Structure 1
């Protein structure tokens, strides 16, 4: 287990200080989290980064990779209508780039489950993350902004067939799938895939639970055992997606070019928003609302002390965690690079419902990694 170096007490205190004014209740969450739930929420791609262990009763569990889902589960268990939670504790992940070495690192953050103005809350939480990150002393920080919902609103302007638009929106946080869409090959299967196509068409008319059961029965009849750890539900889901892709068709050359142009936008936020507006198609209603929200959000960030010259809006910025469904941000250090953010956060309004919440509120949060924020650290 790779441990972070300890920080000077005064530096850690400075990084903690902005959170004291967040109006949040200090809380904690179990270190062990259900593996299946995390994979359902974040996607199978996350499995390689999780530290898997045996939980109570022998079922598979993992050490918490971050606090968002863990704190959301604690909030729902409390049955409170709203809540704002401060945490400080260790998270655990397997190091990237194929290493099997586990990382143990300190996170400090806030998760807020509240009704009210989401744009104002977005600005408040991101400004809080910026203040905490900057308190570590680094002078090379940038606040990189993105929005899953902005891409969805842009896609709606293009007047695509509904299945194609839905598929393109889903692909935004799946780089491999998005690459296929923009190469014009998403609807085509690999060579020799006729049998898979017929099975996909058969399963496409069924609810996913029934599709998985049918696939399992076909395997049993044929004496086939799945390989690679993929479950029937996952394979059925991908086959259904393939059938839907074939029915929906592909982007035209012109549509591919305009989506590529959108994804290439990365600039000062005011310039970026103008570029996105100029690329939009005829159905602009949802996008105009999204752009107005972004202008208000940016004003809120600047009013809360985030330097305007440190802001960058990157249209292609998304995150592999499947539960983020709106505004996203990362505080990045030039010395550490894009792959090691100092702080991060975003909006995940849909997560409570996916966890079984009977009532809905907004949900937004942030975290900072103090060891990365510290200017004298090597993280």
Structure 2
């Protein structure tokens, strides 16, 4: 396993300082994380980037690829309504076909609240924190890129699409391959699902009953699933395939509007103006999302120079649990593929992990070796 070089102590202390000043409680997280959960959050394609381990007869696990899920699980286990945590430690991702480090240091802050007040203030606080921490490493070529998964959902709502199609598009917003497939079939009639009759049958039952039926079929046939996937996960995917087949396709005009939205990459004011221009109707969801952006940008303006801000609403991360603001601090020398810091809002993750509905979460992570001016090149 290729290990990242150590950052000099004084440089690391400077990068760490903004995180420690955020008033967060220091926490650690188990290095071993449940594989099934992470694949459910990131998709099967993520498996190739994980270090998978399995004891004889035990469930598959993996070395933690980052801290967010682990810290969120720890917060929920505490049963607290709110929490603010800071962490520091190694993370692990396989890097096939390249010489990138596979064990690397991460620093980060995760903020959880019970849903009171506006999320835009916390979004701006965390994005500004990531910027200050990344900038403390000494690089002078940084840019803060801003995106928003939630804005995509509001934009889709403005197009007045059939409910099933709108839900499908929102679900695949962070997965370019699946979204492009939807855009490519614009104007086509509905197609049979790849899951065939079984997918259609399970879809008619709903996910809970579908999982029970699938488990009974496996039991009768003496089948054991492979790859660590349970009946609930497999049934959910088959149901979604059937729903996708039943959903009407986009019109060509709608597909163009979505493609143009996903292609926005500009200064924030110009990018948001373009969103308004492309929207089919100015619904409440879109107006609320744009109002939140005014709050974020007003607060970030006090920390980040205007020329260092970019807006690309389609900005996403490897894990698809982000459902609101997303951001990356990028170095011109390292390029878009090696961000110095990343983060965003992931309210829905807490519910997926068994937390109360309405709870909210936002966080950021910084790679010190990338932030350090004498580090990754």
TM-score (normalised: structure 1): 0.90
Compared CA separation, residues 297 and 96, structure 1 to 2 (3 A): farther
Structure 2, unaligned stretches of length 5 or more? none
CA distance in 2 between partners of 1:189 and 1:138 (Å): 52
Compared CA separation, residues 100 and 9, structure 1 to 2 (3 A): closer
Which residue does 1:103 correspond to in 2? 102
CA distance in 2 between partners of 1:80 and 1:231 (Å): 29
Alpha-carbon shift at residue 262 of structure 1 (Å): 0.8
Compared CA separation, residues 269 and 172, structure 1 to 2 (3 A): same
CA distance in 2 between partners of 1:79 and 1:55 (Å): 30
CA distance in 1 between partners of 2:57 and 2:200 (Å): 39
Which residue does 1:270 correspond to in 2? 269
Alpha-carbon shift at residue 282 of structure 1 (Å): 2.1
Q: CA RMSD in A?
A: 2.5
Bigger Cα displacement from structure 2, 218-227 vs 336-345:
218-227
Secondary structure of the 1:90 match is strand
Bigger Cα displacement from structure 2, 108-117 vs 122-131:
108-117
State the number of aligned residues.
373
CA distance in 2 between partners of 1:270 and 1:2 (Å): 42
Compared CA separation, residues 147 and 56, structure 1 to 2 (3 A): farther
CA distance in 2 between partners of 1:335 and 1:100 (Å): 17
CA distance in 2 between partners of 1:102 and 1:17 (Å): 24
Matches within 5 A, 1:52-131: 52-54=52-54, 58-97=58-97, 103-114=102-113, 115-131=116-132
Please say if residues 86 and 108 of structure 1, whose CA atoms lie closer than 8 Å, have aligned partners that are also in contact: yes
Alpha-carbon shift at residue 83 of structure 1 (Å): 1.1
Which residue does 1:182 correspond to in 2? 183
- Residues 133-172 of structure 1 show CA distances to partners (whole Å, capped at 9, x for unaligned) of 1111111111111111000000000011111110111121
Secondary structure of the 1:144 match is strand
Please say if residues 350 and 360 of structure 2, whose CA atoms lie closer than 8 Å, have aligned partners that are also in contact: no
CA distance in 1 between partners of 2:166 and 2:93 (Å): 34
Alpha-carbon shift at residue 101 of structure 1 (Å): 8.8
Alpha-carbon shift at residue 231 of structure 1 (Å): 5.6
Bigger Cα displacement from structure 2, 317-326 vs 250-259:
317-326
Alpha-carbon shift at residue 100 of structure 1 (Å): 11
CA distance in 1 between partners of 2:76 and 2:220 (Å): 42
Bigger Cα displacement from structure 2, 177-186 vs 266-275:
177-186
